[in-house]
């Protein structure tokens, strides 16, 4: 499959579970080659969409195409060019990394021994695990486990790679190594990075969507969304007891504790008054504007 004009087209996808929870509501996205961020809080519908894209679930309505492949009607065809790294994945802890990756390569259909050996070595080097290939995966750190998961998902050179909450629990050094690896892979494949961590999206993705309660709130380029908030985000440090009154008087989008006091970010097109200073917005401000201020901030501000 040629990646030049490759596009993942998601149209009007909905999914309701048997308990009545509507996990997805008429979701539509066009995802090009490169790193694409899907950002939302826990329970927003991210994992349901990822499972549908990876053919583990079937939507109630809508269509999904990867190029000419109908993902709903042709799941087996999609699986031939799919890589999926779920948030939690099991490994055989007593198996050596090299042996386990070789096993997964067999399952993926690489039956020629020499070809399989070449693939396994290449993937171990790409994920910076070659030096520990003889170690048992049960002794791997969190970051090493994630990189090994990527190695498994890359067997067969997938054109669609789905990564669900990949950096949760990683230390800063492992997180950087893991994100650098994903960035390199995004040059030739569609990589969907599903996360609730804003920094992961801001550092990697050229396009993104914000999802909450099963609906897409915003689809944009991160830098464009940040630019449109310039001059509209203000900060003030207050005593915690003053926060309830501020929430009545202003459009508070986020609060953080700092040295025992509360740092408040608000949205306002005009100077909100004494004590506030204008700040340069970031992607976190964009995120909280959409998540916490639906119906307060006009859509035209961010879209």
Domain with residue 209: its CATH number is 3.40.50.300
Quick one: 44 and 179 in the same domain? yes
Q: Which of 201, 220, 239 represents a domain boundary (last residue)?
A: 220
How many CA atoms are closer than 13 Å to the CA of 262, on its beta-carbon side? 16
pLDDT at 107: 86
Q: Which pLDDT belongs to residue 164? A: 83
Whether 68 maps to a domain, the answer reads: yes
- Rounded distance between C-alpha atoms, residue 303 and residue 283, angstroms: 14
Rounded to 5 degrees, what are φ and ψ at 29? -150, 150
* pLDDT tens, position by position, 173-218: 878 877 888 888 888 889 999 888 888 888 789 899 999 999 999 9
Query: Residue 65 is part of which domain span?
Result: 7-81+157-220
- The residue with tokens 């109630």 is 60
pLDDT band at 302 (very low <50, low <70, confident <90, very high): very low
Please check whether residue 22 lies inside any domain of the structure.
yes
Residue 264 lies in a domain: yes
**Can you give the pLDDT at residue 1?**
52
Domain-embedded: residue 103: no
Question: Are 54 and 172 contained in the same domain?
Answer: yes
Which is nearest to 285 in space by CA: 237, 231, 249, 245? 231
Which pLDDT score is estimated for 303? 29
Same domain, 240 and 293: yes
Same structural domain, 215 and 253: no
The structural domain count of the chain equals 2
Residue 9: Cβ-neighbour burial (10 angstroms; 0-12, 13-18, 19+): middle
Are residues 58 and 181 located together in one domain of the fold? yes
The 10s digit of each residue's pLDDT in 222-255 is 999 999 999 999 999 998 888 899 999 999 999 9
Residue 82: what are its φ and ψ, rounded to 5°?
-115, 140
| Same domain as 59, residue 32 | yes
The pTM score is 0.85
Q: Which two tokens stand for residue 130?
A: 């070659």
Q: Are residues 190 and 278 in the same domain?
A: no
107 domain-assigned: no
Q: What is the mean pLDDT of residues 78-97?
A: 84
Q: Of 165, 185, 220, at which residue does a domain stop? A: 220
- Check whether residue 199 and residue 245 sit in a common domain: no
Residue 300: which pLDDT band, with cuts at 50, 70 and 90?
very low
Indicate if the pLDDT at residue 281 is higher than 90.
yes
- Pick the last residue of a domain from 198, 220, 242: 220
Q: What are the strands of the beta sheet with 61-66, ordered from one edge?
A: 22-32, 7-16, 61-66, 69-70
Cα separation, 233 vs 267, whole angstroms: 5
Is residue 202 domain-shared with residue 243, that is, in the same domain? no
Q: Quick check: 67 pLDDT over 90?
A: yes
| pLDDT, average across residues 73-83 | 92
User: What is the DSSP code (8-state) at residue 230?
Assistant: T
Cβ–Cβ < 8 Å for 71, 65: yes
pLDDT at residue 182, rounded to an integer = 81
134 assigned to some structural domain: no
Q: Do residues 234 and 282 share a domain?
A: yes
81 in Cβ contact with 66 (< 8 Å): yes
- 261 shares a domain with 233: yes
Is residue 216 located within the same domain as residue 230? no
List, for residues 1-31, the tens digit of each pLDDT value.
Answer: 556 568 999 999 999 999 999 999 999 999 9
């Amino acid at each position: 499959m040629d990646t030049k004009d490759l596009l993942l087209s998601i149209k009007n996808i909905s999914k309701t579970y048997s308990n009545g929870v509507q996990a997805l509501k008429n979701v539509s996205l066009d995802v090009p080659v490169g790193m694409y961020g899907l950002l939302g809080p826990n329970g927003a519908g991210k994992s349901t969409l990822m499972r549908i894209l990876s053919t583990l679930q079937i939507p109630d309505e809508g269509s999904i195409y990867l190029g000419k492949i109908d993902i709903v009607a042709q799941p087996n065809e999609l699986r031939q060019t799919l890589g999926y790294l779920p948030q939690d994945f099991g490994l055989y802890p007593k198996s050596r990394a090299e042996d386990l990756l070789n096993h997964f390569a067999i399952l993926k259909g690489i039956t020629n021994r020499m070809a399989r050996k070449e693939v396994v070595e290449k993937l171990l080097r790409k994920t910076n695990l070659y030096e520990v290939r003889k170690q048992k995966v049960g002794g791997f750190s969190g970051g090493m486990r994630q990189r090994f998961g990527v190695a498994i998902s890359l067997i067969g050179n997938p054109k669609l790679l789905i990564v669900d909450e990949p950096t949760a629990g990683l230390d800063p050094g492992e997180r950087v190594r893991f994100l650098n690896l994903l960035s390199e892979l995004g040059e030739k494949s569609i990589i969907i990075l599903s996360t609730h961590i804003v920094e992961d999206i801001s550092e990697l993705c050229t396009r993104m969507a914000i999802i909450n309660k099963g609906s897409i709130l915003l689809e944009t380029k991160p830098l464009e969304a940040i630019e449109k908030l310039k001059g509209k985000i203000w900060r003030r440090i207050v005593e915690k007891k003053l926060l309830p009154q501020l929430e009545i008087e202003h459009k508070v989008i986020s609060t953080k504790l700092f040295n025992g006091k509360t740092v408040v970010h608000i949205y306002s097109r005009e100077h909100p008054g004494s004590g506030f200073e204008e700040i340069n917005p970031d992607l976190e401000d964009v995120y909280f504007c959409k998540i916490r201020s639906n119906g307060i901030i006009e859509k035209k501000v961010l879209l």
